[in-house]
C-alpha cells in the first residue's frame, strides 16, 4: 500500500509556509515577546523534565508540527505497536520491547499467546541467577565466589549493557567488576582477559542465534583461554548464555539451564530490557533492574496516554523533524552533563542511526526528504574544551540535547554546582550568543585601542540562535535511566512514522559482513583479484605481505 509522500501532506505544506517566516526568528526576540516560554514549552513525565523553550518555535510551530504527527498517523501506529501488531513489515514481526517492562499483571496477546507470562518467567530466572552470584552462592570451579563478569556481545548486546552499567555505577555490587568485549579486534578481548582471574570470572555470551561472527569468535577465544587454566568440566560454572539456540549453547559447554532466552520481537538495539540486560541485573541487583524496567514502563504509559501537546517523545521527535527537514540540520549533539552517562551518546548513535538511517519508505520508494541526522557527542564539560567551538561559531547549526541530574551521587564539595552552572550557561549561550555591541562594551572595559577592538570584533561575536533541549532528572538512578532510554526510543519511533520508514530493521549492517567473508580466506590463501577493484586488491596484497613476515 502506497503512503502519501511527506511533502504532499496538508500539514507539511502548512509548515513550509510557516517556515518562510520562522527561519529568520531570533530566540532572544522570542523570549522577549514571551517571557513565560519555560512554562509554556516544558513537559514532565516519569521523573524527567524536558525544557524545549530554547528552540526556534512558537505556539503556531508546535501546533503545526503536532498536526503533521496526527496526519502521519503517529497515534494510530503507536497504538498498533503497543498492541503487538507486526509493524516491522520487512521482517514480518511485532515490535514489543515495551512488553519486557510491563508488570506481571498485564496481558498482551500476540499470535494467540499472552507473552507476559513468558517475559516474567525469564525475569524470574534472571532473579534467581543474579541473586546467587551477588550473594556469593554461585561458586567457580575452585570454590571461589565470582569477582569479574565479562560480557561478550556486539551491537545492542554490548552497547546497552555497558552504557547502563556505567550509568548506574554507584548502585553496583562492590565485589563485582564488569567488563565488556565487542570488537572482533583481538586487542579488545586481550585487554579484558589481562585483568581477570579464570577462577573467579564469569563469562556471558550474548548472541540470540549463537552464530554472530564477532561474538562467537571472541567467545571461542575466551573459552580457549579458560581451558588453558581449567578443564571442560568446569565450563558450566564460568560460562552462561543469552541465546535461543539450545543445541549450540550445549555444544559450547554451557549448561542449557543457564541459558537466558529472548524473542524475535525484541530488536538488538531495544534489548537492554530483556535478558541482554543480565550484566546490569548482576551489577545493580534484581530490585534495581526492576526499578529500571519500571522507569521504562512509566515512560511507555506517558507516551501512550498523554495528549500530543504534553507528550515528551512526540515533542522531541517533531522538533527534530522541524530542524532536519526545514532548517536542513545534518547532525544532533548529545551532551550529558554527568560522567556516568559517558556511553549514552554512543548508545543513541545505534538507537537512532540504525533505526532511522534509511533512504526508502516502507513501500520501497525513495524518501522525499532526508531522514535521521548523524548523532554524536560527549560528556560535559569535556565537550566544551573540544568541539563546542564549532557548535558556537561554526558554519553549521547543530541542535544539542543537554542532559543533567540535579543531585550528584558523590559528596565532593562544589563539583556539582560548577557542573550544573556550565550546563545551564552553555544552553543560554547557544540561545543568546553575544552581539557586536556587547563585544565592543566588553573590549572597551579592557581598555583596548579602537583599532584592536575592530580587528577582534568579528572573531568574538557569537551569532547565538542555536537550538537546544535540556532534560533534567532529580538523580541518575535505575528508574530515571529507564525513563530516559524509553524517551529516546519513542522519539525515534515518532520520527520514523513521520518519515514513513520502518525503524525496526537494519539491512544496512549486512553487506559489509558478506564481503568480509569473501575477503577473509584471501588474506591467508589464494587471492581472487577478479572479484575486487584495484583498491581492495592492493589492500589485500599489502595485508598478506605483512601477515606473512
How far apart are alpha carbons 338 and 149 in whole angstroms?
25
Residues 10 and 78 in one domain: yes
Q: What angle do CA 26, 29, 35 make, to 5 degrees?
A: 135
In a domain, 103, yes or no: no
Query: What pLDDT shows up at residue 91?
Result: 92
In a domain, 444, yes or no: no
- The catalytic position among 162, 291, 352, 354 is 354
Query: Tens of pLDDT along 257-289?
Result: 999 999 989 999 999 999 999 999 999 999 999
Residues 404 and 298 in one domain: yes
Threshold 0.85, pTM exceeds: yes
Residues 364 and 397 in one domain: yes
How far apart are alpha carbons 176 and 236 in whole angstroms?
19
How far apart are alpha carbons 282 and 391 in whole angstroms?
39
Q: Taking Cα atoms as reference points, which of 293, 9, 3 lies closest to residue 126? A: 293
Query: What pLDDT shows up at residue 1?
Result: 56
Query: What pLDDT shows up at residue 492?
Result: 98
The rounded Cα 147 to chain-centroid distance in angstroms is 28
Name the grid cell of 145.
565466589
Residues 235 and 135 in one domain: yes
CA distances from 157 to 6, 243, 387 (A): 34, 11, 30
- The catalytic position among 92, 187, 385, 410 is 385
Residues 304 and 243 in one domain: no
Residues 248 and 324 in one domain: no
Average pLDDT, the chain: 96
Residues 224 and 359 in one domain: no
What CATH number corresponds to the domain at position 51?
Answer: 3.40.50.10490
Query: Tens of pLDDT along 53-98?
Result: 999 999 999 999 999 999 999 999 999 999 999 999 999 999 999 9
Residues 150 and 258 in one domain: yes
385 is catalytic: yes
Q: Taking Cα atoms as reference points, which of 352, 471, 483, 321 lies closest to residue 401? A: 471
In a domain, 276, yes or no: no
Q: Three-state DSSP class for 449?
A: coil
Residue 131 DSSP label: H
Residues 61 and 14 in one domain: yes
- The catalytic position among 195, 415, 444, 513 is 513
Query: Which domain does 385 fall in, by range?
Result: 6-86+292-411+467-505
Query: Tens of pLDDT along 306-330?
Result: 999 999 999 999 999 999 999 999 9
In a domain, 440, yes or no: no
In a domain, 267, yes or no: no
Write out residues in the chain with pLDDT < 70, as ranges.
1
How far apart are alpha carbons 465 and 24 in whole angstroms?
10
354 is catalytic: yes
Q: Taking Cα atoms as reference points, which of 362, 372, 369 lies closest to residue 488? A: 372
Residues 67 and 215 in one domain: no
In a domain, 106, yes or no: no
End position of a domain, from candidates 262, 278, 308: 262
Task: State how many domains the chain has.
Answer: 3
Residues 237 and 374 in one domain: no
In a domain, 456, yes or no: no
229 is catalytic: no
Residues 36 and 135 in one domain: no
In a domain, 160, yes or no: yes
Amino acid at each position: 500500500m502506497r503512503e502519501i509522500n511527506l511533502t504532499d501532506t496538508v500539514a507539511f505544506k502548512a509548515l513550509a509556509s510557516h517556515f518562510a517566516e520562522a527561519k529568520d526568528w531570533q530566540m532572544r526576540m522570542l523570549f522577549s515577546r514571551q517571557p513565560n516560554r519555560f512554562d509554556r514549552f516544558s513537559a514532565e513525565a516519569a521523573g524527567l523534565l524536558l525544557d524545549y523553550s530554547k528552540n526556534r518555535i512558537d505556539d503556531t510551530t508546535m501546533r503545526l508540527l503536532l498536526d503533521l504527527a496526527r496526519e502521519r498517523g503517529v497515534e494510530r501506529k503507536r497504538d498498533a505497536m503497543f498492541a503487538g501488531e507486526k509493524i516491522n513489515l520487512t521482517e514480518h514481526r511485532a515490535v514489543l520491547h515495551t512488553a519486557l517492562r510491563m508488570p506481571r499483571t498485564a496481558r498482551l496477546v500476540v499470535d494467540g499467546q499472552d507473552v507476559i507470562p513468558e517475559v516474567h518467567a525469564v525475569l524470574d530466572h534472571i532473579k534467581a541467577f543474579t541473586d546467587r552470584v551477588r550473594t556469593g552462592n554461585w561458586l567457580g570451579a575452585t570454590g571461589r565466589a565470582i569477582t569479574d563478569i565479562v560480557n561478550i556481545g556486539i551491537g545492542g548486546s554490548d552497547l546497552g549493557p555497558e552504557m547502563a552499567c556505567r550509568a548506574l555505577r554507584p548502585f553496583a555490587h562492590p565485589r563485582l567488576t564488569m567488563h565488556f568485549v565487542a570488537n572482533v579486534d583481538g586487542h579488545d578481548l586481550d585487554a579484558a582477559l589481562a585483568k581477570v582471574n579464570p577462577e573467579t570470572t564469569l563469562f556471558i555470551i550474548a548472541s540470540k542465534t549463537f552464530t554472530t561472527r564477532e561474538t562467537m569468535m571472541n567467545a571461542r577465544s575466551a573459552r580457549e583461554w579458560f581451558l588453558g587454566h581449567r578443564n571442560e568440566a568446569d565450563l558450566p560454572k564460568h560460562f552462561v548464555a543469552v541465546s535461543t539456540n539450545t543445541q549450540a549453547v550445549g555444544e559450547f559447554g554451557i549448561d542449557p539451564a543457564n541459558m537466558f532466552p529472548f524473542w524475535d520481537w525484541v530488536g538488538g538495539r531495544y534489548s537492554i530490557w530483556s535478558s541482554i540486560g543480565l550484566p546490569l541485573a548482576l551489577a545493580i541487583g534484581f530490585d534495581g533492574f526492576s526499578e529500571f524496567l519500571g522507569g521504562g514502563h512509566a515512560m511507555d504509559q506517558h507516551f501512550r496516554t498523554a495528549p500530543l501537546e504534553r507528550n515528551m517523545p512526540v515533542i522531541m521527535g517533531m522538533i527534530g523533524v522541524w530542524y532536519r527537514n526545514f532548517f536542513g540540520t545534518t547532525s544532533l549533539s548529545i551532551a550529558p552533563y554527568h560522567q556516568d552517562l559517558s556511553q549514552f551518546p554512543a548508545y543513541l548513535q545505534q538507537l537512532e542511526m540504525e533505526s532511522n538511517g534509511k533512504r526508502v519508505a516502507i513501500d520501497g520508494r525513495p524518501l522525499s526528504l532526508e531522514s535521521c541526522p548523524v548523532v554524536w557527542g560527549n560528556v560535559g564539560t569535556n565537550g566544551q574544551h573540544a568541539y563546542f567551538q564549532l557548535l558556537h561559531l561554526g558554519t553549521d547549526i547543530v541542535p544539542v540535547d543537554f542532559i543533567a541530574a540535579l543531585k550528584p551521587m558523590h559528596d565532593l564539595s562544589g563539583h556539582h554546582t560548577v557542573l550544573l552552572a556550565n550546563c545551564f550557561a552553555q544552553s543560554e549561550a547557544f540561545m543568546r550568543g553575544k552581539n557586536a555591541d556587547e563585544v565592543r562594551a566588553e573590549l572597551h572595559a579592557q581598555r583596548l585601542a579602537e583599532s584592536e577592538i575592530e580587528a577582534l570584533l568579528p572573531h568574538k561575536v557569537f551569532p547565538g540562535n542555536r537550538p537546544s533541549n535540556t532534560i533534567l532528572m532529580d538523580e541518575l538512578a535505575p528508574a530515571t535511566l529507564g525513563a530516559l532510554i524509553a524517551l529516546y526510543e519513542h522519539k525515534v519511533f515518532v520520527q520514523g512514522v513521520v518519515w514513513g520508514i520502518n525503524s525496526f530493521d537494519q539491512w544496512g549492517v549486512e553487506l559489509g559482513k558478506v564481503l568480509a567473508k569473501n575477503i577473509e580466506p584471501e588474506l591467508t590463501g589464494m587471492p581472487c583479484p577478479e572479484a575486487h577493484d584495484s583498491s581492495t586488491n592492493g589492500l589485500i596484497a599489502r595485508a598478506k605481505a605483512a601477515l606473512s613476515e
